[in-house]
Structure 1
Amino acid sequence: MKIAIFGGSGFVGKNLIKTLQSKFDIQEISLRNSFWQKTIDKETDIMINLVGKAHDHKGTATEKDYYFANVELARQIVEEFKKSDASLLIHVSSIAALEELGSDKPLEEIDHCRPLSLYGKTKREAEKLLLDEDLPKNKKIIIIRPPMIHGPGDKGNLGLLYKMISKGIPYPLASFENNRSFLSIENFCYYVEEIIKKKSEISSGIYHICDDESVSTKDIIEIIGEVTRKKTVNLSLPKVIVQKMAKIGDYIPFPLNTKRLKKMTSNLLVSNEKIKMSLGVEKLSVSAKDGLIKTIKSFQTK
């Protein structure tokens, strides 16, 4: 089986290619090539779109930049998919296309979408574009929505939290209670591989993918303590004070800002029941805790 992967140069793409290349014939397509459409193998069976713009650490990205990366390139890829002999397009979206404020109940695919950021809005725009496609009966589009994906090589908020805790800096947000759904890179790759293997059994549409268990920031602090074998100190600072400190970080370089505070302290629960039922999966092999341990251990080797 031949699989074309678009956007395979990032953290997720490198891990997915490593997982799939021992079982399938993988072709990595670089959209930086002006003639990328002509490089797609004519015998491709499945296309996987990982292309997208998520983080803007420098604060220089425009709405046009987000639209091009998250919507226009998705449109170009689906056009090539429709012209090809490939039977399945797996498009990686984000839970941000549905919800960014947080949710106390597990988010389901039928819930109303309310993205707020340029990232979330353009990811949702791409979803609507793909869902509106009039496909031949022999073709399917599977859209998967992960929450934050982590694993060895991850450069996100988990790394920042690890640096703080491993240096013995007290965790100042213990007054906040939260639970969030995450996705280990191992489970991400497992979901994609199962979709590939059972492509004839799964219908077109949107599917949420995440670990089976949710975890709190306090859980992550404890795991960091276990891995580093260092005693962690939790400070229950008044929430009002923490929120004011975070607002300072919106204007000057500071480890905490309002956006990061929201991610670290709010609930964001996701249901993976639909995808597991469609694939006939009862339980993922990698637990949320085991996945986090692998990620945190990888920080120690840097």
Structure 2
Amino acid sequence: MDRLLITGYSGFVGGHLLNALDESCEINLLGRSAAPKCDKYLEANIDPSSDYSSVLQSVDVVVHIAARVHVMSETAANPLEEFREVNTAGTLNLAKQAVKAGVKRFVFVSSIKVNGESTTGRAAFSSTDKPDPEDPYGISKAEAESQLLALGKETGLQIVIIRPPLVYGEGVKANFASLMALVNKGLPLPFRAINCNRRSLVSVYNLVDLIKVCITHPKAVGQIFLVSDDEDVSTAQMVAMMAKVQGKSNFTIPIPLWCFRILGKILSKEHVVDRLIGSLQVDISHTKNTLGWCPPYSIEHGFKLACKQQR
């Protein structure tokens, strides 16, 4: 039986992964908050200098989920360096110590932001695309991926990289939760005309299932896997599904797309508008073909569980 070290276990994805693991699994945890029942626990930050040796002993696989994520009101003088401190240098520090401890495999949960921000007017992102990150978070993740793959070639550490798009499910926060709350209130929303874009999402249940496969699958080694529910939706379809699973009427108004673009320019929020009316699709054929994996849960299943918090 493999012994796992999981980072980010107190976060959204990490918490769901812990709940989904078989009780017979031996689990070590690395984090910054009180640990649930586990074999070993270390309270520490992910950074370039911390010593993780106490929780890496006898570990076979590291599942690295912890990261410095998006900060809505960024105050750092140099945001890129702040992201690199944790997501790049901190990740490499953990991986190098994993090599010294004899760890076999390092599963790194990265981000689709390594590929870029939008697929509007182009084909879906694929695992073979040249990285094209646009923000400090995506850049730090891309650099971590590159350095991990180089470390794997140098040392034999089995590197597996997973790039999820927006992840949702019970306990989700940020924009997805805010939109579900608006739909739940029955307010008229101006999204009916946003019906030609396509967004790839992944429920935390499908993402966790893929992580579990990547922990042991022999063909996962050295691979980059994109993941989604394999059911891309428009913004209008997303809102309609949110209404359906919450038992609400789909009260939406067909505001022309040019209105959103003008408003975005006026408010200097073009990037927000692009996420709303633009596309971001991922091609998961490499993931399915390499691992023999398909998302076990439908997008409606994920939406139903995500809406629990609105009740």
Q: TM-score, normalised by structure 1?
A: 0.89
1:23, 1:179 → 2: CA distance? 40
Task: Tell me, yes or no, if structure 1 residue 113 matches structure 2 residue 162.
Answer: no
Query: Structure 1's 121 and 137: CA in aligned 2 closer, same or farther, altered over 3 A?
Result: closer
Amino acid at match of 2:55: I
Aligned to 2:202: 183
1:67-103 per-position Cα deviation (integer Å, ceiling 9, x unaligned): 1121111110111121122110001110101111334
Aligned to 1:43: 58
Cα distance, 1:168 vs structure 2: 2.2
Percent identity over paired residues: 25
Report matched runs for 1:95-174 at 5 Å. 95-103=112-120, 104-135=122-153, 139-174=157-192
Amino acid at match of 1:65: E
Task: Tell me, yes or no, if structure 1 residue 58 matches structure 2 residue 70.
Answer: no
* Counterpart contact for 2:56–2:103, Cα < 8 Å: no
Q: Secondary structure at the match of 2:124?
A: strand
Aligned to 1:5: 6
2:286, 2:230 → 1: CA distance? 12
Q: Secondary structure at the match of 2:52?
A: helix
1:150-198 per-position Cα deviation (integer Å, ceiling 9, x unaligned): 1111102211111222222222132222111111010111001111232
Cα distance, 1:37 vs structure 2: 1.3
2:280, 2:178 → 1: CA distance? 20
Amino acid at match of 1:70: N
Query: Structure 1's 162 and 134: CA in aligned 2 closer, same or farther, altered over 3 A?
Result: closer
Q: Secondary structure at the match of 2:244?
A: helix
Cα distance, 1:112 vs structure 2: 2.2
Question: Please, which moves more after superposition, 160-169 or 86-95?
Answer: 160-169
Amino acid at match of 1:27: N
Amino acid at match of 1:88: R
Cα distance, 1:118 vs structure 2: 0.8
Aligned to 1:300: 310
* Counterpart contact for 1:52–1:69, Cα < 8 Å: yes
Q: Secondary structure at the match of 2:20?
A: helix
Q: Secondary structure at the match of 2:281?
A: strand
Query: Structure 1's 249 and 292: CA in aligned 2 closer, same or farther, altered over 3 A?
Result: farther
Cα distance, 1:138 vs structure 2: 5.2
Query: Structure 1's 238 and 201: CA in aligned 2 closer, same or farther, altered over 3 A?
Result: closer
Question: Please, which moves more after superposition, 113-122 or 219-228?
Answer: 219-228
Task: Tell me, yes or no, if structure 1 residue 291 matches structure 2 residue 302.
Answer: yes
Question: Please, which moves more after superposition, 230-239 or 3-12?
Answer: 230-239
Cα distance, 1:22 vs structure 2: 2.0
Question: Please, which moves more after superposition, 201-210 or 151-160?
Answer: 201-210
Query: Structure 1's 2 and 291: CA in aligned 2 closer, same or farther, altered over 3 A?
Result: same
Amino acid at match of 2:45: R
1:119, 1:2 → 2: CA distance? 30
Amino acid at match of 1:89: F
1:298, 1:247 → 2: CA distance? 35
Task: Tell me, yes or no, if structure 1 residue 70 matches structure 2 residue 49.
Answer: no
Consecutive unaligned residues in structure 1, runs of 5 or more: 251-256
Q: TM-score, normalised by structure 2?
A: 0.87
Task: Tell me, yes or no, if structure 1 residue 91 matches structure 2 residue 103.
Answer: no
The RMSD of aligned alpha carbons is 2.0
* Counterpart contact for 1:215–1:288, Cα < 8 Å: no
Query: Structure 1's 134 and 225: CA in aligned 2 closer, same or farther, altered over 3 A?
Result: closer
Aligned to 1:254: none
Report matched runs for 1:194-233 at 5 Å. 194-198=213-217, 200-233=218-251
Aligned to 2:40: none
Q: Secondary structure at the match of 1:289?
A: helix
* Counterpart contact for 1:151–1:291, Cα < 8 Å: yes
* Counterpart contact for 1:146–1:183, Cα < 8 Å: yes
Task: Tell me, yes or no, if structure 1 residue 20 matches structure 2 residue 32.
Answer: no
1:260, 1:49 → 2: CA distance? 29
Question: Please, which moves more after superposition, 239-248 or 151-160?
Answer: 239-248
Aligned length: 292
Query: Structure 1's 40 and 232: CA in aligned 2 closer, same or farther, altered over 3 A?
Result: same
* Counterpart contact for 2:56–2:101, Cα < 8 Å: no
Query: Structure 1's 138 and 112: CA in aligned 2 closer, same or farther, altered over 3 A?
Result: closer
